[in-house]
Amino acid sequence: MSALRGWPVSVRLAALVLLGYALLALASLAGWLDHGLALDVAARLAPPSGRHWFGTDPLGRDVFAMVAAGARTSLAVALGAVLVGLAAGTPLGLLAAGRGGLTDELVARGNDLLFAFPALLLAVLLSAALGPGALTAVVAIGVFNVPVFARLVRGSALSLMTRDFVRAARLAGRGPLAIAFVHLLPNLAGLLLVQAAIQLALGISAEAGLSYVGLGAQPPAPSWGRMLNEAQTLVGVAPWLAVFPGLALALAVLALGVLGDGLAARLDPRGRR
Amino acid sequence: MALLELERLGVRLGGRMLLEDLSLAIEPGRVLGLIGESGSGKSLTALAIAGLLPPGATVTGQVRFAGQPLVGAGERALCQVRGRGIGLVFQEPATALNPLLTIGTQVAETARAHGVPAAEAAARAAAALARVGLPAERVAPQRYPHELSGGQRQRVAIALAVALAPRLLIADEPTTALDVTTQAQILALLTDLARREQMALLLISHDLAVVAGLADEIAILRDGRLVEHGATRRVLRAPASDYTRALVRDHALPALAPVPAGGGEPLLSADDLVCSYPGPRRGFFGRAAARRAVDGVSLALAAGERVALVGESGSGKSTLVRALLGLEPPAAGTVRIAGQPLGRGPTLRRQRRLLQAVFQDPVASLNPRHRVGRIVAEPLGLLEAPPAGPARAARVAAALADVGLDPAAAERYPHEFSGGQRQRIAIARALVVEPRLLVLDEAVSALDASLRTQVLELLLGLGATRRLGYLFVTHDLGVVRAVTERTLVMRAGRIVEQGPTAEVLDHPRHPYTRELVAATPSLERALAGPDR
């Protein structure tokens, strides 16, 4: 907990919430909640109680276990998408900043193209090609993270490159790769971390959106978006079916947003005391 | 009665006393110079007088303006005093003006804020701009700040401050961001305004020569305390405190130890060098004609030679330096190091081993995330057999010792050092591969006088013991005279004059050099006149 000292209460709370999600996802991954996912028609549509904290669905599955399993899917897809964005966007941004000229122009226009392309259309195209599923969601969301990171890295790298320590490194005989890894990336890491938190939040809601329209994780893999979709017709009878996955989704996005803001404030030297 | 009185003024911020027990007074129509190094509390004094201290600062003592106490006065009362009673001019004219408003509107704004009707405010603005040397027929009030030069922008900032004819003008480092020639014009304007309009002037500066030439009285601050105060000439001719003595001594730079001029093949030469920047885009494909920042420069430096490159900002000297260092390719012409054109791969490594550089701002030139040892060791990769392990650490320790730093510094980060120490680290990095020539790009401009002297003495010592030559890029003619044998003067991308330093500075031939020499403030000249 000592790592959290000196941060605002809101950021500490957000970190705790996210830790909770991670533990939930791990518990689900380890199979500790699997018994809750078994069908139990006798206990169908039970309201929240001591036995079923979040109630049960029409097939008698435990909603808490489903939300936990959904956390697994959501976090995995959003993390995967952020990694895709980082892995492709960072080198592209560095390349554009370092080479300039035609390379820079091509990367910039590529970014514009991706920004202009409707995300949902790409997801539909991808699921037509790859079949719907978690991997499709990772690729579809990840592709839209690429220009975000590429632009961020390009802009920051350009401003770092005018700093004299980069000039000094060139005089010291360092090649472009060494300068990128030794001088630019460590100075960009904080910025990338903040952007990653923001993209993670966007990724989680995007994943829920894709699953909701049936383009994300497929049954029986649980997902918040599909839970919301399935709850639609029963919301009058069993509101807990919609409330809990909805809350889980909102809380995760909120916590990541708060964490991102906190990190950004901490990294901004003007905010440092 | 004094116009402004500070009675035991103290400022505490973040638990530290930044200003303590400061008592001073300014008579109407007089000029008081406030001198101090960075962190001495001189800017804080200006902010405390104007009631503009950052939140969280606590003030003790009292400030009286024309008898009215300002400490503890309400914001409304302070607003009346600011602008009407006290005008302020800050260091950086680029940030003191709103980029979205025309200069006429901005000056009129001050008047309108004090209840002057719009039509009269516009007339007052025009008059104020004319008073600072920007009459409407030369510079229309409809222009925006970005359309003006740095000196013109500072004039607008002064017009803002004097629009309502305040009785006291506070100028905080008003010329530090400007060229020497522009500085002379702005200083002349300030003193002229003060004399003509019977305005008292509080001139805050780190530059003894600037203040000595203008101020009737001088006050010297150090670490938030008043060290000495009195008539300018008396204080500077016969300082009572050790600190003032050190300030005056450091201002007179060390004398150059003569070294036999290097002969033979030039170590660094440039042949008809042209560097240009692409013009602004015109339409989708077209571009305006390229701007030539360096326009046909030829030069040669022999081994061990110490040469100055002088010029104002925008003269192209930084671009020239980058081309000489091989950091930006020239549009035409060649740079040769040790007789060979700048190469690639192993050739370039060999050439870089001969030629290293120290940049202006040590904050920007040291990677904040690396330890000093790693920073200093970086150029060792240029050697054919880079040392590793203990041999590498020994090289780093030796380089740090050469610049007078403890080898234990290698374990620490740059931010743990003072500005002068950081510049030493940058010099150690440049020296670690034992180059024959250093390019020093404004390498002492960001340093306080005492640190500047230390760094210059260090460079002089290295020049004498190792026959290390250097190209010293600067706008400070005092430094040029102290540490170089030959001077090149650059203007608008060309070398307009060159020759032995003493000759260029004492008998300048080109009109620009003459202007530059005349504009340089001189402590000796200021102190030579009769007592005021």
Which chain B residue is nearest to residue A172, measuring alpha carbons?
B379
pLDDT tens string A131-158: 888 888 898 889 989 999 999 999 999 9
Strands of B102-198, DSSP E: 168-172
pLDDT tens string A17-52: 999 988 888 888 887 777 777 777 777 777 887 777
Query: Chain A contacts of B429, Cβ < 8 Å?
Result: 168, 172
Output A269 or A122, whichever has higher pLDDT.
A122
The domain that holds A102 is classified in CATH as 1.10.3720.10
Query: Chain B contacts of A177, Cβ < 8 Å?
Result: none
**Partner-chain contact A171 B325, CB within 8 Å:** yes
Query: Chain A contacts of B335, Cβ < 8 Å?
Result: none
Among the partner residues B14, B352, B367, nearest to A183 by beta-carbon distance: B367
Interface test with A, best of B378, B392, B437, B471 (most A CBs within 10 A): B378
Rounded CA gap, B50 and B59, in Å?
12
Query: Chain B contacts of A168, Cβ < 8 Å?
Result: 357, 359, 365-366, 378, 426, 429
Let me know if residue A78 belongs to a domain.
Answer: yes
What is the pTM (predicted TM-score) of this model?
A: 0.76
Which residues of chain B are under the pLDDT cut of 50? Answer: 532
Let me know if residue A128 belongs to a domain.
Answer: yes
Rounded CA gap, A183 and A170, in Å?
11
**Partner-chain contact B359 A186, CB within 8 Å:** no
Residue B184's pLDDT is what? 87
Residue B308's pLDDT is what? 93
In what helix (H) or strand (E) does residue A74 lie, and over which residues does it extend? helix A63-99
**Partner-chain contact B369 A172, CB within 8 Å:** no
Q: How high is the ipTM of this complex?
A: 0.71
Let me know if residue A253 belongs to a domain.
Answer: yes
Report chain A residues touching chain B, CB-CB < 8 A.
Answer: 163-165, 167-174, 183, 186-187, 273
**Partner-chain contact A172 B378, CB within 8 Å:** yes
Q: Across chain A, what does the average pLDDT equal?
A: 85
pLDDT tens string B167-195: 999 999 888 777 888 888 888 888 888 88
Query: Chain A contacts of B348, Cβ < 8 Å?
Result: 173
Burial B255-283, CB ≥16 within 10 A → b, else e: ebeebeebeeebbbbbbebbbbeeeeeee
Rounded CA gap, B429 and A273, in Å?
31
**Partner-chain contact A167 B357, CB within 8 Å:** yes
Q: Among residues B165, B158, B188, which one has the least CA distance to residue B116? A: B165
Let me know if residue A114 belongs to a domain.
Answer: yes
**Partner-chain contact B381 A163, CB within 8 Å:** no
Q: Among residues of chain A, what percentage have pLDDT more than 90?
A: 25
Give the pLDDT band of residue A231 (cuts 50, 70, 90).
Answer: confident
Output A59 or B348, whichever has higher pLDDT.
B348
Interface test with B, best of A104, A162, A170, A171 (most B CBs within 10 A): A171
pLDDT for A271 beyond 50:
no
Q: Which residues does B456 contact at the CB level (< 8 Å), separation at least 6?
A: B253, B254, B444, B479, B482, B483
Return the DSSP state at B139.
Answer: S
Rounded CA gap, A84 and A146, in Å?
7
Residue A272's pLDDT is what? 41
Query: Chain B contacts of A167, Cβ < 8 Å?
Result: 322, 325, 327, 357, 359, 365
Looking at CA atoms only, how far is residue A6 from chain B in angstroms?
Answer: 17
Q: Among residues B132, B165, B143, B137, which one has the least CA distance to residue B97? A: B143
Q: Two tokens at A72?
A: 């697994």
Residue B357's pLDDT is what? 93
Domain that holds residue A163: 47-272
Report chain B residues touching chain A, CB-CB < 8 A.
Answer: 14, 322, 325, 327, 348-349, 352, 356-357, 359-361, 364-369, 378-379, 381-382, 426, 429
Residue B531's pLDDT is what? 52
User: Would you call the peptide bond into B254 cis, given omega within 30 degrees of 0 as the criterion?
Assistant: no
Q: How many domains does chain A have?
A: 1
Looking at CA atoms only, how far is residue B364 from chain A in angstroms?
Answer: 5
Which chain A residue is nearest to residue B441, measuring alpha carbons?
A164
Residue B450's pLDDT is what? 75
Query: Chain A contacts of B359, Cβ < 8 Å?
Result: 164, 167-168
> Which residue is associated with the tokens 């370039």?
B348
Let me know if residue A180 belongs to a domain.
Answer: yes
Let me know if residue A2 belongs to a domain.
Answer: no
Which chain A residue is nearest to residue B433, measuring alpha carbons?
A172
**Partner-chain contact A164 B364, CB within 8 Å:** yes
Let me know if residue A33 belongs to a domain.
Answer: no
Let me know if residue A218 belongs to a domain.
Answer: yes
